[in-house]
Structure 1
Amino acid sequence: MLDNALRKAAAVWVRPAGHAPRLVWALWRDGAVLVAVGGTEQVVPGLADGVACAVTVRSPTTHSHLVDVPATARLVDPDDDTAAALRAARLNTRPEWADVYRLEPA
């Protein structure tokens, strides 16, 4: 169910431990949620390498709750294909991020 839900979701709620949830655009790739932050991109207070997070997925059509997933944030240096996919996912913007985190389901 998680894989199917995240393939369709363009945005998810991310709650780093000790912080409020934040709605963020995200990309599901290779079994994890990728979130670009900083620079001209979104800010997610508390998101750091090794931090436990909760990821909440809602239906893109009905906005009903689909699934909550515990995850661990891992700072990554995206390869060229991943960076291109992140840029393509933003559609009408030219994203410039400071960091990319891979939220790996527990």
Structure 2
Amino acid sequence: MEIAQVLDNALRKAAAVWVRPDGHAPRLVWALWRDGAVLVAVGGAEQTVPGLADGVACAVTVRSPSTRSHLVEVAATARLVVPDDDTAAALRAARLNARPAWTAVYRLELA
């Protein structure tokens, strides 16, 4: 099975991933897998990811959904995006236990 398929299978089930922007410590964050990229909402009442900014290189670590062990780490580039209505709705739906209040959304484009 090629790495893209492994990632797709794991990220469809993952509610959280580890994100490590260059020069910063990894941070466990809730995320949404959509259209071949990881979406991370930050700021406001949401999570913080020090060092995450438009164009920053990151490492994304995914754990196995069944064993919770380290599955794969991949390089990504963070892109600041303005989510369309469908994406914003998906981000809100992914936050089952909290009222979303983000100030920025980053699309982590996997290398």
> Shorter chain as normaliser: what TM range?
over 0.9
Q: 4+ residue runs of structure 1 moved beyond 4 angstroms?
A: none
RMSD: 0.7
Per-residue CA deviations over 1:2-21 (Å, capped at 9, x if unaligned) read 11111010000000000000
Of 29, 32, 39, the residue aligned with 2:34 is 29
Structure 1 residue 62 displacement after superposition = 2.1
Q: TM-score, normalised by structure 2?
A: 0.93
Of 17, 38, 41, the residue aligned with 2:22 is 17
Percent of aligned pairs sharing the same letter: 87
Residue of structure 1 in register with 2:49 after alignment: 44
Structure 1 residue 29 displacement after superposition = 0.1
Distance 1:61 1:89 in 2: 20
Distance 2:75 2:85 in 1: 28
Residue of structure 2 in register with 1:55 after alignment: 60
1:82 corresponds to 2:106: no
Structure 1 residue 96 displacement after superposition = 0.6
Distance 1:92 1:21 in 2: 23
Structure 1 residue 42 displacement after superposition = 0.1
Name the amino acid aligned to 1:11.
Answer: A
For structure 2, the residue ranges without an aligned partner over 5 or more in a row are 1-5
Structure 1 residue 59 displacement after superposition = 1.8
Name the amino acid aligned to 2:34.
Answer: R
2:10–2:65 contact (8 Å) kept in structure 1: no
Helix, strand or coil at the partner of 2:48? coil
Count residues with an aligned counterpart.
106
Helix, strand or coil at the partner of 1:96? coil
For structure 1, the residue ranges without an aligned partner over 5 or more in a row are none
